[in-house]
Amino acid sequence: MNSSDFQALARLRISDAEALASTGRNWSGCYYMAGYAVECAIKACIAKQTLAEEWPPPFEKVKELYTHNLERLLKHKEFPNGDTLTSLLAVEKQKNTAFSGYWQTVKDWSEKSRYEKYTQQEATDLLNAITDPKNGVLRWLQQYW
C-alpha cells in the first residue's frame, strides 16, 4: 500500500463513520470507524516517506508500524529537518486550544474499541474532533500526507 491508498482508506472510514452516525443506531460502530480514519491518515503520512511510497517500509520498522496506537505512530513520520509528527503535534496543541482539546479526545481511541460500547455523545465527540473543518485532527494530518 502507498500513501494514496491510506488516504483513500481514511476518507472511506470517515465516510463510514458519518453514515453510521446518520442512522442514529450504531454509535459504537461510528466511534470505531472514525478512529480508524485517523490511523489510516497517520499511516498515509508515514508511507509518504518510504521508498517509492510503498508500504510496508523496511523490515526493521515493520513491527513498530503495525500498531494501532495513534501516538506511537506519530513519531514515525520524520521530516528532513528532524521534526516528527509528534513534535509538530506539540506545537499545534500549544498554539491552538481547540485542536488540543480535539486531540485529547482522539488520542484515547484504540482498536480495542471494537469490543466496547459507546454512547451517542462519545461517538459524536470523536467524529467532531476528527472532522471539524477548522481545527479537526484529520484536517491537520492532511497537511502532511
User: Tens digits of per-residue pLDDT, 72-125?
Assistant: 888 878 888 989 999 999 999 999 999 999 999 999 999 999 999 999 999 999
pLDDT tens digits along 7-45 = 999 999 999 999 999 999 999 999 999 999 999 999 999
pLDDT at 52 exceeding the cut of 90: no
pLDDT for the residue numbered 69: 79
Q: Is the pTM of this model over 0.85?
A: yes
For residues 81 and 74, give the distance between their C-alpha atoms in angstroms, rounded to a whole number. 16
Query: Is 78 strand, coil or helix?
Result: strand
Fold of 3-142: Four Helix Bundle (Hemerythrin (Met), subunit A) (1.20.120)
8 A C-beta contact, residue 109 and residue 20: no
DSSP state of 112: G
**Domain definitions of the chain by residue range:** 3-142
